[in-house]
Amino acid sequence: MFDWNDMRYFLELARRGKLAAAALRLGVDHTTVSRRISALEEALEVKLFDRVNRAYVLNSDGRRLLSYAEKMEANSVALMDEVTPVSTGPQGTVRLSTPEAFGSQFLARHCASFRQRNPGITLELVAETRSLNLSRREADAAITLAEPSHGRSTSEKAGLYRLRLYAAPSYLQQHPPIVSLRDLQHHYFIWYVDDLLPVPELQMLDKAISDPHVIFRTTSVTGQANAAEAGLGIALLPCYLADRMKGLTPVLPGEISVLRDLWLVVHDDLRPQPHMDQVCTFLTTLIASERRILLGK
């Protein structure tokens, strides 16, 4: 019989893919993780991971074991919820992937209220433009801009957000007046680095404006907003970000208005778990209650 505790190490390494990352999550050193994985493989008489470029990737036997290990984890969490439902509530860790600005500039501001209501749940927020792969367990759940077309996940449309053009008053004062769409041909724009943009749903500037003159590019929406606030040019920004910045003002808000979907995506194996249910409820409730902020009303 294998050591039950080794399953914790197996789960973390399966989710993180690196010894160091799993060790950090477990509060041990990487050699301990390696030793426990080796002990589990020896007890089961099977290899569970392929080593690829210093990363640990589940092989077919590892993927089979993963479903059982996750059920063990879910049953352990359910047991704790049943034994101490009033004092602690659901417990667990949820790694949530979101678009960069949505996570860092919108969601993070509301995490304190989530913590107050769910002290047993730890949120790991990965806020970056690149979407993490739920099937490979890079994340447990995600807020995405489009519904996934494949993978073992459950998705639901959570809401919408709006983007408008914004610029600093100092920029507008130093450049020709903007009273119509044609006037934008004489202005400078801030945008993404196109060949480093992995999310097609963000390729919106050319669709909103004919042949924009882009003079500065960055992979960060927050960076775009800061550059616009400094007077560098005009940026197409989420209202939930730009409306909070005193140094930005909308440009042609009645002419340029782009709506984007927000989808909540959860790995199928995790959706029924109590701590994941709490996270999903928090996200859908938050997006609904902050609808005016997200739409710039």
Helix (H) or strand (E) holding 70: helix 60-83
Decide if 98 contacts 158 (C-beta within 8 A): no
Q: What does the block give as tokens for 170?
A: 């100092």
Instruction: Provide the 10 A C-beta neighbour count for residue 244.
Output: 13
Tell me 194's DSSP state. Answer: G
Which residue carries 């073992």 as its tokens?
152
Q: What does the block give as tokens for 263?
A: 């989808």
Domains and CATH numbers, the chain: 1-83 (1.10.10.10), 89-297 (3.40.190.290)
Does residue 217 come out as left (phi exceeding 0), alpha (psi in the -120 to 50 range) or beta?
A: beta
- Phi then psi for residue 185, to 5 deg, are -65, -20
Decide if 98 contacts 142 (C-beta within 8 A): yes
**C-alpha closest to that of 164 among 208, 199, 219, 206:** 208
**C-alpha closest to that of 141 among 107, 183, 178:** 107
- Phi then psi for residue 239, to 5 deg, are -60, -35
Residue 187, judged by CB atoms within 10 A of its CB (0-12, 13-18, 19+), counts as: buried
Q: What is the dihedral of CA 102, 290, 253, 128, to 10 degrees?
A: 0
How far is it, in rounded angstroms, from Cα 218 to Cα 186? 21
Helices (H), 185-233: 205-208, 221-229
How far is it, in rounded angstroms, from Cα 51 to Cα 154? 30
**C-alpha closest to that of 170 among 78, 252, 233, 77:** 233
pLDDT by residue for the chain (297 residues), tens only, comes to 678 888 989 998 998 888 988 888 788 888 999 999 999 999 999 999 998 888 899 999 999 898 888 888 777 767 766 665 555 678 899 999 999 999 999 999 999 989 988 999 999 999 987 766 676 778 899 999 888 776 677 888 999 999 999 999 999 999 999 999 999 989 999 998 877 765 666 666 777 777 889 999 998 999 999 999 999 999 999 999 999 999 999 999 989 898 999 999 998 888 788 899 999 999 999 999 999 999 997
Name the amino acid, one letter, at 221.
V
